[in-house]
Structure 1
């Protein structure tokens, strides 16, 4: 059946909003938050400051930074009832399932019925606690409660392991890399929910559910699985030959927007290469990158942020199944910023589909319905 309409599956290239939050230039390989290049932010900023920038549209002064830091540090703890529920969850529950469920439940503890900055800050503060508590519960470890004297990322690592590891500033900066990326699938899903004037907890539950899908979040976990299978850099060529011969995807390569090297991947690679110690998986990853760039030079397939981020998380001893929750822990800033921005000039999303099914069928009662075979 010939259609009279041009259907854009996946909405590729279709603009659905006007935003001043970020700019992704896929041709130049640039990522900009509120006018600031990502390279400058990771070099000079931190999680709290960049979150303020994305939420409010400008870098904070000293008082404003103290305000956002204080707000985030005071809202970290979870209600005791929620902790009790988590302790009774199945131990094999995936961290993203736990995160999605607890964020939804937290909505019942809020007095706000729509999207507010207060709720955005509240959830941003609590998501690291949800992740850290589940890590401790899953591994039969005593809970480590949040401290309000630590920065956002330091407190998270402390709650996981009981100490703040060396080079923790790199983990903090990695959250900046994942904080915002335009109208990706989870941000779009969050914005659709926001367009109904739903509350922040519903908006973020939607986003987490979308991020959980294997085509969106979780690629860095599968990159590490791939590097585990390769085992040594000497086996890279044979491994890639096997993947290519079976038309299998090489994890961590390619991006819907970037047609050149993902700037976030470049930054992560630089950090890992500058470590004064051997970082597990890094030498294999570099060899994989060299081979892929050589074999697919004409197709311009480059590493994306997922290719190296999992190696950094593994360096901090974070288990693979928690990687996507780290993504959510950072991206909630972008999700909430887009939700609040869109609602300022809100129009509920209502796209259309093109019907290509039968018409004018005659109704038959159940006894009259026949099936071949």
Structure 2
């Protein structure tokens, strides 16, 4: 791998507008990666060469997480060992359960704030959290992939004043998550839907939270710290929180016959429509295509077809008005409808996003360590170059 350092003669000080730069790092390549690739023009997403459509149809979250972590599809024996390791790490300390219960019952915390703190707490109960070897980092990656599901399920129950449901070793990762969340073994169809949701969210190239994870890892900080940073970035409404906004929008619209007029009014006011547009995709997000198909059956079973019909009206109007500008549905548009129809509280949508994205976060953290260089970009300074210091008693 070759990297090019910025020339020493570059001047990083000047006046606004004097130099051009990629605001928000748009289009800037910061590293090489073999994990995933987004083709925003063709609307493709691949994980290590495999199209997301194939993984959603044929794979499982466990196999997909293995693919991202080890850069290959597992053999049967390898997958069995990986699943066994995930199962053995599912349980979390009583102290973490206690914190989640208190936070959910007594404070109006955002679930992502509770998740962020709970993952940080897990580090305090992990004797190997500070061990700086690749074996230890791999072990922490698998622990975090497993335990974040337990934490999120416990948060969901605490918000309803319910005690946690402890994990079962005989269920798949997705089925066990639903079991811990609802307290009963899920219907196989819903377990498969959750499996697909986690696969679709597992990685997405250099998004804001993955960039954060890699930037923290580049300092050689521990895996828990990197993941906590990823959670903090994902919490933002411009990243992971958009799926919640979709459901808020549907509830505000209320009825199918209101949808078209609501969207037109919103567009006239230059209001952003949640679930549409993407920094990279300039066509239909392939993950949205997949979730839309699942939404047909999920809403039929749940009796929530109204949400899907509203979404279809919104999609039609948005594509007619803004499709030529590359404003198309993204994964958030249908994921919220699917999860809400499964009985999942809106506030849990972003934490569940994290349950899937953890697979990509930890895979990128290990990849960063293999060819590490600390992230150190520059700002173009546009403040004063010389300013006199005036003693405080002389300042007007």
Residue equivalent to 2:304: 279
**Is it true that 1:112 corresponds to 2:129 in the alignment?**
yes
- 1:98-122 deviation per Cα after TM superposition (whole angstroms, max 9, x unaligned): 1000111111122132471100110
- 1:39-86 deviation per Cα after TM superposition (whole angstroms, max 9, x unaligned): 011100101111111101111111111011111111111111222222
Aligned to 1:24, the other structure's residue is in SS state strand
Moved more, 22-31 or 351-360: 351-360
- 1:259-284 deviation per Cα after TM superposition (whole angstroms, max 9, x unaligned): 11000000111122245544341111
**Is it true that 1:85 corresponds to 2:99 in the alignment?**
yes
Aligned residues: 370
Cα separation, 2, equivalents of 1:274 and 1:28: 27
**Is it true that 1:137 corresponds to 2:158 in the alignment?**
yes
- 1:102-151 deviation per Cα after TM superposition (whole angstroms, max 9, x unaligned): 11111112213247110011011111111111222221212211111111
Cα separation, 2, equivalents of 1:231 and 1:251: 16
Residue equivalent to 1:47: 61
Residue equivalent to 2:240: 217
CA contact (8 A) 1:222 1:251 kept: yes
**Is it true that 1:251 corresponds to 2:251 in the alignment?**
no
| Runs of 4+ residues deviating >4 angstroms | none
**Structure-1-length-normalised TM-score:** 0.96
CA contact (8 A) 2:116 2:231 kept: yes
1:152-171 equivalences in 2 (<5 Å): 152-166=173-187, 167=189, 168-171=191-194
CA contact (8 A) 2:154 2:180 kept: yes
Residue equivalent to 1:204: 227
Cα separation, 2, equivalents of 1:17 and 1:322: 32
Residue equivalent to 2:212: 189
Residue equivalent to 2:37: 23
The offset of 1:4, in angstroms, is 4.6
**Is it true that 1:231 corresponds to 2:231 in the alignment?**
no
The offset of 1:236, in angstroms, is 1.2
Cα separation, 2, equivalents of 1:245 and 1:70: 54
Moved more, 289-298 or 339-348: 289-298
The offset of 1:2, in angstroms, is 5.2
Moved more, 73-82 or 164-173: 164-173
Match of 2:50 among 24, 30, 36: 36
Residue equivalent to 1:178: 201
Aligned to 1:296, the other structure's residue is in SS state helix
Aligned to 2:204, the other structure's residue is in SS state coil
Aligned to 2:375, the other structure's residue is in SS state coil
Cα separation, 2, equivalents of 1:348 and 1:102: 27
Residue equivalent to 2:7: none
The offset of 1:192, in angstroms, is 0.2
The offset of 1:8, in angstroms, is 1.4
1:247-326 equivalences in 2 (<5 Å): 247-275=270-298, 277=301, 278-280=303-305, 281-326=307-352
**Is it true that 1:363 corresponds to 2:389 in the alignment?**
yes
In structure 1, runs of 5+ residues without a counterpart are none
Match of 1:9 among 20, 23, 29: 23
Task: Give the RMSD, CA atoms, in angstroms.
Answer: 1.4
Cα separation, 1, equivalents of 2:21 and 2:321: 33
